[in-house]
Amino acid sequence: MAKLLLFIFLVYVLYLLSLFILNNKAISNFGITLILLAISINLDLGVFIHHGQKIYLHIFCLVISVITFLIIQYYLIIRGRHYYKAEVTLNKNFHKHFYFLLFAFLFIILLLLTQYNLVRIYELNLFIHHLMVYLSITLLLIWFYLTFILSGQKQNNDIIFKSIVVLSLLNSILSILQFIFNRSFLLSNPAANINYYEGIKVVKRVWGIVGASNGAGNLGTILFAVLLYYLYKKKNIFIFLVFVLNFVFILLTLTRIAYLAIFIEFLIFCLFIFVRNINYKTIIVRVALTNLGVIILFLSIYFFFDDAYKLLVLDRGSTESHRFIQFSNITKLLKDIPMLGIGAGQYVYYVYTNYGIRDIVIHSQFLNILVEQGFISFITYLFIYIYMLIVLIKKFKKDVWFPISLFVGNFITSNFNPNQYYNVTIYIFMFISLGLIFFRNNTMENQNVNEPRS
């Protein structure tokens, strides 16, 4: 506990000093560095003991709580009046987006607190995990909102893309080291091997910073869409290198649903690019490239299908059948599930206690919300997801393929893996989405620098 308190104190002091010493851009950069560092460290810290059970909190929850608490004070007490006029000139949609998302997340948190008092909680740690995820996202939302206002509406989203490039590069290097040395090198368990035993042969599946191979595939899918967009815009050799390394990272996870997701993301990109600025010359080139791609695809299947099937199905293990069995069983249980759900994080204990079924956690984040948190929370979260997508489509009018591919790719992977327990992927996705929503989009042409697009 002493080390935990010392860590929180250090974060508090450093960020407090940054607010008074650094300029607005440097404050934003330092805050983003703290946020991504806390997410990447990916540690659960024991905080207190409840009825003999130690409760754990993710380090990001503690960091975002501290820096949001400080920036709220900074805004209200130190700089509030100074920026009042600038805030009034903001696009009304900017405030609308903030208050809609804020009330939606707070509503889910309220439902979970209500659930705690009305539903039997078998495993408190798992319940706290889900509650803290929503709380952390809510605090992240507030941080982005206030950071943009305090920047004088000048903070652009290029910092989001650059920070993701750095994160992706470090994650890819870590994953390659994991594969070479068969060690995780993660602070939570640095000596752990990355062997996977579900197939007929032991295979290595890298974890990256996530700490789980399936979660690593989910993260790679999110990064793929962001890097593809940034590469398309910047056409930079360094970004291309990072993009390729992330692709290698995805391959090393052996996460099949991630392979499907990035294929669909790339397909969305190709379809939108194909129909853009069509003329006689470009259509010939694009048709030729399309046919070349189809030929390469068929040749790849012809020459490498057997090896790929052996590695991804036989050696790695065919586990997708259990997912469909689980989904089928859950649909039969839905009619008995209360409106408020069976309890966040309680599925495994609930089905065993009430039905005698031994099962693993639900391998679908959205279905998990429906079952464990109830129909109302599910509809609310679905609205949040769709709302953020619509906002970003409007903001990236000339490149609507980007938010569509990002959200579709995340939706695919998060609904075939237990993404609700992959803290890193959830937080990185929300970091990207909220950052792009609230920071000015300087990648668009003819952008009004005094107004974030809706």
Summarize pLDDT for 386-437 with one digit per residue, the tens: 999 999 999 999 899 999 999 999 999 999 889 999 999 999 999 999 999 9
pLDDT of residue 237 exceeding 80, the answer is: yes
Residue 52 backbone zone (phi > 0: left; psi -120 to 50: alpha; other: beta) = left
What φ, ψ does residue 54 adopt, rounded to 5°? Answer: -80, 130
393 and 190 Cβ atoms separated by less than 8 Å = no
Residue with tokens 């107004």: 451
Cα gap 272→367, rounded to integer Å: 30
pLDDT of residue 443 exceeding 80, the answer is: no
pLDDT of residue 315 exceeding 70, the answer is: no
Cα gap 401→393, rounded to integer Å: 8
183 and 191 Cβ atoms separated by less than 8 Å = yes
Cα gap 183→181, rounded to integer Å: 5
Q: What is the largest CA-CA distance in the chain?
A: 73
The arithmetic mean of pLDDT across residues 316-329, rounded, is: 66
Residue 454's pLDDT is what? Answer: 43
Residue 78's pLDDT is what? Answer: 66
Of the two residues 269 and 304, the one the predictor is more confident about is 269
Sign of CA dihedral 417, 419, 422, 425: positive
Q: What is the pLDDT of residues 53-101, one digit of tens each?
A: 778 888 999 999 999 999 999 888 765 455 444 444 556 788 899 999 9
pLDDT band at 329 (very low <50, low <70, confident <90, very high): confident
pLDDT of residue 5 exceeding 90, the answer is: no
What φ, ψ does residue 186 adopt, rounded to 5°? Answer: -90, 145
Cα gap 104→127, rounded to integer Å: 19
Q: What percent of the chain has pLDDT over 70?
A: 82
Q: What percent of the chain has pLDDT over 90?
A: 57
The arithmetic mean of pLDDT across residues 203-212, rounded, is: 93
Cα distances (Å, whole numbers) of residue 3 to 7, 45, 47: 6, 10, 11
N-terminal to C-terminal alpha carbon distance within the chain: 44
Residue 79's pLDDT is what? Answer: 57
The arithmetic mean of pLDDT across residues 197-224, rounded, is: 90
Q: What is the pLDDT of residues 254-286, one digit of tens each?
A: 898 999 999 999 999 988 887 776 665 666 665
pLDDT band at 321 (very low <50, low <70, confident <90, very high): low
Q: Please name the helix (run of DSSP H) or strand (run of DSSP E) that holds residue 348, with its range, or none.
A: helix 347-355
Q: Give the mean pLDDT of the chain.
A: 85
Q: What is the pLDDT of residues 359-384, one digit of tens each?
A: 889 999 999 999 999 999 999 999 99
Q: What is the number of other CB atoms lying within 10 angstroms of the CB of residue 164? A: 23
Cα gap 70→79, rounded to integer Å: 12
Read off the amino acid at residue 417.
N
The arithmetic mean of pLDDT across residues 24-53, rounded, is: 86
The arithmetic mean of pLDDT across residues 119-125, rounded, is: 90
Listed range (116-120, 298-302, 347-351) with the worst mean pLDDT: 298-302
What φ, ψ does residue 196 adopt, rounded to 5°? Answer: -125, 130
Please return the burial class of 121, using the count of CB atoms within 10 Å of its CB with bins 0-12, 13-18 and 19+. Answer: middle
